[in-house]
């Protein structure tokens, strides 16, 4: 479809809830039984048909998971064909596919590109076999590097890598060496996440049993600072606490994730698939976190929505501040005043002044943002602002 240029922009997220194996640290909704893939695709197409909308122009499509690359290129192509039939899609849309090493070949990647994928996000996590073993990944370091190299060989020009640090048993020099090696690969985007122990995951059970000892807050914070310093001095700009984009001298080329920025900017987005969330005009709704329930509802031509909420003013303020302070640009104080009818400092002046004195936040014309030290303690800083 050819969208009208005046249509408001939105993003489309499609959740692929299948993995070859479940990583012990992951709490995202996914299943390791791949036998339901065809049933899922049929239900997803029904959901896309039911939610047909040309009132917005989608300039991002993001296929996430799970592991979307367990689906064959023909299956991904079938999904994208349905998306383009039912939604207005911008000609320059960013179309991202998450892929995991161990699930793709050079041929697969070429086929994904041929059906319209123009951005890859590779779940590398590490290029150290010991770390990958600890994280329960299905691939080796060699397979991870091969997947990246194949993406270049077939012509992908926008590739992001996910990395994880603060791994028990791995020290500062290990992480610095690994980060240096990844920088030499020159991906357009890097997402660097500190290992988080999520309740209910197998790794959390091992922590509870004393089998694993997570890094202390100071050590993890030092690794965060090391990550920022290393990447910022090697041609990468941090634009969100965990996300970095490679600088480019080409006018009009921006390697920040256009889709993920929609979440942080409170822009509208529509989610499809089990457990997917949607957000428009201060209303949020989400699908059932159950493939069986998702399939059942769509078999009856029923929307698979589990629940929804309309955010009140206080909730909107909380999200505006929380998400704004995750970004290195920080909070636009004028936008805050226009949206909520009062100034940010009118509401939070004393605590912001205190945080500024502690070098946790800093102000510059029209904005307030976290310092690097503030980013190390993001959750506690936010807690102080919003308490």
Q: Which residues of the chain have pLDDT under 50?
A: 1-5
Q: Domain of 331?
A: 315-386
Q: Are residues 140 and 224 in the same domain?
A: yes
Q: Are residues 221 and 336 in the same domain?
A: no
Q: Are residues 15 and 128 in the same domain?
A: yes
Instruction: Calculate the alpha carbon distances from 167 to 45, 67, 286, 322 in Å.
Output: 40, 22, 32, 26
Q: What's the pLDDT score for residue 95?
A: 98
φ, ψ at 232 (rounded to 5°)? -65, -30
φ, ψ at 14 (rounded to 5°)? -125, 120
Q: What's the pLDDT score for residue 7?
A: 65
Number of domains comprising the chain: 2
Q: Would residue 71 count as lying in a domain?
A: yes
Q: Are residues 31 and 177 in the same domain?
A: yes
Q: What's the pLDDT score for residue 380?
A: 92
Q: Would residue 331 count as lying in a domain?
A: yes
Q: Would residue 299 count as lying in a domain?
A: no
Q: Would residue 104 count as lying in a domain?
A: yes
Which among 220, 246, 263 is the end of a domain? Answer: 263
Q: What's the pLDDT score for residue 152?
A: 98
Q: Are residues 137 and 212 in the same domain?
A: yes
CA 147 to CA 139: how far, in whole Å?
A: 10
Residue 375's Cβ-count burial label (10 Å; 0-12, 13-18, 19+) is: buried
Q: What's the pLDDT score for residue 277?
A: 97
Q: How do residues 187-236 score in pLDDT, each as one tens digit?
A: 999 999 999 999 999 999 999 999 999 999 999 999 999 999 999 999 99
Three-state SS string over 281-330 comes to CCEEEEECCCHHHHHHHHHCCCCCEEEEEECCHHHHHHHHHHHHCCECCC
pTM across the whole model? 0.95
Q: Are residues 152 and 37 in the same domain?
A: yes
Q: What's the pLDDT score for residue 6?
A: 54
Q: Would residue 1 count as lying in a domain?
A: no
Q: Would residue 308 count as lying in a domain?
A: no
Q: Would residue 2 count as lying in a domain?
A: no
Which among 263, 280, 301 is the end of a domain? Answer: 263
| CATH assignment of the domain containing 249 | 3.20.20.70
Q: Would residue 245 count as lying in a domain?
A: yes
Q: What's the pLDDT score for residue 306?
A: 98
| Triad 328, 332, 336: Cα angle to 5° | 135
- Token pair 């920080």 is found at 330
């Amino acid at each position: 479809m050819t969208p009208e240029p005046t249509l408001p922009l939105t993003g489309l997220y499609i959740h692929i809830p299948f993995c070859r194996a479940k990583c012990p640290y992951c709490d995202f909704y996914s299943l390791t039984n791949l036998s339901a893939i065809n049933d899922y695709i049929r239900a997803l197409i029904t959901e896309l048909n039911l939610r047909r909308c040309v009132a917005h122009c989608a300039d991002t499509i993001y296929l996430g998971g799970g592991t979307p690359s367990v689906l064959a290129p023909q299956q991904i192509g079938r999904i994208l064909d349905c998306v383009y039939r039912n939604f207005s899609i911008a000609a320059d849309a960013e179309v991202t596919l998450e892929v995991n090493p161990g699930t793709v070949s050079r041929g697969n990647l070429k086929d994904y590109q041929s059906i319209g994928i123009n951005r890859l996000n590779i779940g590398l996590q590490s290029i150290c076999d010991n770390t990958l073993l600890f994280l329960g990944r299905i691939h080796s370091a060699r397979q991870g590097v091969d997947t990246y190299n194949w993406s270049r060989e077939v012509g992908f020009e926008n590739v992001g890598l996910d990395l994880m640090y603060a791994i028990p048993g791995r020290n500062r020099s290990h992480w610095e060496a690994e980060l240096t090696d990844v920088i030499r690969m020159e991906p357009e985007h890097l997402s660097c996440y500190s290992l988080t122990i999520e309740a209910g995951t197998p790794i959390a059970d091992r922590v509870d049993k004393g089998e694993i000892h997570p890094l202390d807050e100071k050590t993890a914070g030092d690794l965060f600072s090391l990550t920022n310093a290393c990447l910022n001095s090697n041609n990468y700009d941090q634009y969100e606490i965990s996300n970095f984009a490679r600088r480019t001298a080409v006018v009009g080329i921006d390697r920040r994730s256009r889709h993920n920025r929609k979440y942080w900017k409170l822009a509208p987005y529509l989610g499809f698939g089990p457990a997917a969330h949607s957000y428009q005009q201060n209303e949020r709704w989400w699908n059932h976190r159950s493939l069986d329930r998702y399939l059942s509802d769509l078999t009856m031509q029923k929307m698979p929505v589990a629940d929804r909420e309309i955010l009140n003013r206080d909730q909107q303020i909380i999200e505006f501040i929380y998400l704004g302070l995750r970004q290195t640009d920080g909070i636009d104080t004028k936008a805050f005043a226009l949206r909520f009818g009062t100034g940010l400092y009118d509401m939070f002046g004393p605590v912001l002044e205190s945080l500024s004195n502690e070098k946790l936040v800093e102000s510059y014309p029209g904005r307030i943002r976290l310092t690097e030290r503030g980013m190390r303690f993001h959750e506690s800083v936010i807690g102080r602002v919003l308490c």
